[in-house]
Structure 1
Amino acid sequence: MPDVPVLGADDVLAVPVGAGGTLPGWLTDGPAPPVSPELLAGAMADTGNRGKPGTVTNVPIPGRRPRSVVAVGIGDATLPDVRGYVGTAVRRGQQLAEFGATRLVLALDSPVAPAGADEVRAAVEAALLAGYRFRELSTPHPPRLVSVTVVAADAQDAAVTAAADAGRVTASAVAWARDLINTPSNVKNPAWLADQALDRLSGLAHVSVTVLGPDELRDGGFGGVLAVGGGSASPPRVVVAAYRHPSAGPAHPVLVGKGITFDTGGISIKPNAGMREMKTDMAGGAAVLATLDAVARLQLPVAVTVVVPAAENAVSGSSYRPADVVRHVGGRTTEVLNTDAEGRMVLADALAYARLELGATALVDVATLTGAMKVALGTRTAGLFATTDGLADALRTAAVRAGEPLWRMPLFEEHRDLLDSPVADANNAPGNPGGTTAALFLQPFAGNLPWAHLDVAGPARAGSDDAELVKGGTGFGARTLLRWLEAGAPIDPPESVLD
């Protein structure tokens, strides 16, 4: 039985309701339950609450200790169910905060089973992320919960305590990614993004941050980054942040994140409706920066570097043009057919740089790359392309544990001739199938290294609140990459939790 804290008149108690409407044993069997099980069961019957994830029954309590009880469905208490339960409870608690509630007491032990380390970590992450709001540029702010107390029977177990700490660190990093993504582009340009990385990361143990400016990019042959950023009054940058723990082994994965701080489409300009969300086109860059932030704060015994090519794809007399030929890091050339296919242009430089200059042993890139991926998989699932089954399975396993769905997509050789160009090594707009041909464009820049590409065009942005997601930038990919690195960044087939 969990040790439920003394409840006051400003507290909201969340009770998990299992499939079939079952209540947890600690509520029905305890000597002094914090709420009458009969009252709660009656209210649930009146509202049809049978424990389906996301269902809610609000029960005001006589005497207001606690202020109110929120019975929330947790279904079979799988990790997705736990995240949904917590997110629903937090959102209800925040609504009640506008009327005086200050604390949410979140009971986690369900009718199915006591909460272990995995459930506690998922709950802490979900509580903090479901309560996230971007408030930097708006006033006044509505009242918010002062605290959320997660209650579990095994709370004193060392593994559970460590899981809660990891959940707090992870959520903080993802919230930072969301802040970066949600910042409007009249504030956010490549230099601003680089400064944010320096401010957040450079003081952490075992971390070094280097920013390559226009001169270094010219000297290094970053033709794709310079071309895409050439039309803007805000010059491009490439952020390179490295973490190496003293106990790290020889493995050195490099994470690359697309950092387009605004995308007009360039001369191949987007329609207005397609441009409105383009402040979020650096979501991949935010995700990999957040990953390194969490890795360093958790002091994982690994070595990892992130590379974020940051540019603003604008329209001016100095913009790159269709029919231009661009030379990338390492010498490979690209014929530009569409200036709105700019993400792959900057990723190409970053991947080649990681392979040739940084000593990468594996490469993973994250990018809001193609609208085709949203058509194929919707807005909740990212496309995964990989050159090895081991790396693909390791990332899919990490994604299951993180709650960030991935679906493996094909790298079919039969589509490679669509990349042919009469004047360059490849063209940048080979057409459909758009997600696959974009990945095929990137593959040569990774060389023979194990490489995976996450196209997060759908899940990088949320159109509405759901579970731990909040409308706006999501930080998708950071939790998956962190889980992969926590497992040692395997590139061989793992002990899979996949169906």
Structure 2
Amino acid sequence: MARVPLPPVPSRLVEVEVLDAVRRGALEAVLVPQPEDDAELELIAGVRPSGKAGDVKQVPGDSPVRWLVGVGKGKPENYRAAGAALARAADSYFEHEPVKALQIALGEDATAETARELAMGVMLGGYRYKVSGEEPKPRLKTLRLIPRSEDVPAFAEAVSRTRELAAAAALARDLANTPSNVKDPAWLADTAARLADGLPGLTATIRDERWLAEQGFGGVLAVGGGSASPPRLIELDYKPRGAAGHLLYVGKGITFDTGGLSVKPADGMHLMRTDMAGGGAVIAAVRAVAALGLKVRVTALVPAAENHVSGSAYRPGDVVRHYGGKTTEVANTDAEGRMVLADALAYGIKRFKPDAVVDVATLTGAMKVALGLRTGGLFASDDDLAARIAAAGEAAGEAWWRMPLLDAHAEAVKGDLGDVKQVPTGPGGITAALFLREFTGETPWAHLDIAGPARADRTYADVVPGGTGFAARTLVELAAAYV
């Protein structure tokens, strides 16, 4: 039988079920809260747990209780970390045992939020993406949660919604992790169209390089001009009946970034397969919004291109004309993300006339310096939109920090040879956002710079190395807040 060369997209996640009673003889995990003081917890099945969030101890012997899982002080992030750690421990155990399911009897103080965060951790903590010629190892397949019987419907509803949020994050990870010898703009576009197929109210339209040239997408064509794989514009439109509003999401879709003629250093270039993490988050979020049937229209645009080095690559010193006519004087071909976003922002706002627009991009190294690797930068022209995004991030468990759009640097964006400068002087993250603002007009707009948290080099909480799927859940929660 022929082997599938890549893991499936989307990945299969752990199935989380909510039942009304424990199953006799099934393996169990016990949730253990951390005591308020430093007192030791009592032995459980002969093992002393710590109760610290994410601390998992395996119980030896034939007892059905196989794991003791610390849930810390019971905060949402504690349950998420506990679920993730349990999933990884169970996967390791099941590599040597045939059983692939476990159950947790939830305590009297458990809430639907408890179940939601625990399920999120389990589904994402066990995420794996590996291109291999070996048969996949056995893994945890099913987690059964058993709340108090009268709470089963509420808990089941919470877990069902969480499943779509986790699937969005996992899909964004899949797209980011797919190697770029497979993931060119056409592959990303075709995959997005396939993922949209069959979801009520969701349509996909793929624009090719001819259409982009006819419409004047100079930024996308310039960035993609150095590659043998031509660019695409991915257009996903979710239009439910009785929609409460209309959001436009724009995601950077650079499927690989060499830096172009302003070539990047070799160290770290292999990570540039994830330079379309913003586009992946946007695709995954709109798919989840449609799957949840939210009554808000959401349109997603992903300008997809490869930034390569060749005789047809764009150059520092070029002047590029964007959709709508505005021109940019190019200083550094490695600042390619803003070039493709400018086209998509101008086009999306003119064509769709949304109530608000949010762009998402791995845009600047400056944001990694400013905020580190676990917090996204939030820029916004509208205070209400900024507050909505911050609240959505909190609900999703993703951290955002609002950054200033300083008028003191606005003049630096103005061009000499063209209308605007691609790389203005001043603080890099802020001036990049100010550049993008030039293409948004009066529409309420937010820019999410995820250069730091879009990828991880080690495991923490529900994150594993590789693409993290950051921003996908925030975008879903933002759309839900407009219903």
Distance 1:178 1:154, change over 3 A: farther
- Take 2:299 and 2:219, find their aligned partners in 1: how far apart are those partners? 21
Counterpart residue number, 2:191? 196
Counterpart residue number, 1:317? 311
Counterpart residue number, 1:473? 467
Secondary structure of the 1:85 match is: helix
CA-based RMSD: 2.1
Distance 1:305 1:252, change over 3 A: same
Pick from 7, 16, 19: which aligns with 2:35?
19
Counterpart residue number, 2:447? 453
Q: Give yes or no for the alignment of 1:88 onto 2:85.
A: yes
Distance 1:14 1:103, change over 3 A: farther
| 1:50 counterpart letter in structure 2 | S
Say which is worse superposed, 226-235 or 426-435, in terms of deviation. Answer: 426-435
| 1:404 counterpart letter in structure 2 | E
- Take 2:474 and 2:361, find their aligned partners in 1: how far apart are those partners? 14
Deviations 1:221-278 (A, max 9, x none): 11000000000000000000000111213x2110000000000000000011131100
Secondary structure of the 1:238 match is: strand
Report how far residue 109 of structure 1 moved: 3.6
Paired residues of 1:21 and 1:51 also in contact (CA < 8 A): no
Deviations 1:157-193 (A, max 9, x none): 4332221111112222222221111110000000000
Pick from 158, 164, 173: which aligns with 1:169?
164
Listed as ranges, the matches of 1:59-78 within 5 Å are 59-61=59-61, 64-66=62-64, 68-78=65-75
Counterpart residue number, 1:292? 286
Report how far residue 50 of structure 1 moved: 3.4
Report how far residue 18 of structure 1 moved: 2.9
Counterpart residue number, 1:337? 331
| 1:316 counterpart letter in structure 2 | S
- Take 1:201 and 1:344, find their aligned partners in 2: how far apart are those partners? 26
Paired residues of 1:114 and 1:152 also in contact (CA < 8 A): no
- Take 2:30 and 2:133, find their aligned partners in 1: how far apart are those partners? 30
Pick from 387, 399, 405: which aligns with 2:393?
399
Paired residues of 2:377 and 2:448 also in contact (CA < 8 A): yes
Say which is worse superposed, 435-444 or 160-169, in terms of deviation. Answer: 160-169
Secondary structure of the 2:121 match is: helix
Distance 1:118 1:22, change over 3 A: farther
For structure 2, the 5+ residue unaligned runs are 1-18
- The alignment of Structure 1 onto Structure 2 pairs a total of residues equal to 464
| 1:127 counterpart letter in structure 2 | V
| 2:88 counterpart letter in structure 1 | R
Q: Give yes or no for the alignment of 1:55 onto 2:55.
A: yes
Counterpart residue number, 1:254? 248
| 1:370 counterpart letter in structure 2 | T
| 1:131 counterpart letter in structure 2 | G
- Take 2:105 and 2:167, find their aligned partners in 1: how far apart are those partners? 21
Paired residues of 1:16 and 1:107 also in contact (CA < 8 A): no
Paired residues of 2:21 and 2:149 also in contact (CA < 8 A): no
Distance 1:137 1:418, change over 3 A: farther
Distance 1:41 1:390, change over 3 A: farther
Paired residues of 2:177 and 2:467 also in contact (CA < 8 A): yes
Paired residues of 2:82 and 2:121 also in contact (CA < 8 A): no
Report how far residue 137 of structure 1 moved: 4.3
Distance 1:41 1:416, change over 3 A: farther
- Take 1:229 and 1:87, find their aligned partners in 2: how far apart are those partners? 39
| 2:296 counterpart letter in structure 1 | V
Paired residues of 2:326 and 2:419 also in contact (CA < 8 A): yes
**Normalising by the residue count of structure 1, what TM-score does the alignment of the two structures yield?**
0.89
- Take 2:425 and 2:275, find their aligned partners in 1: how far apart are those partners? 20
Q: Could you tell me the percent identity over the aligned residues?
A: 48
For structure 1, the 5+ residue unaligned runs are 24-36, 490-499
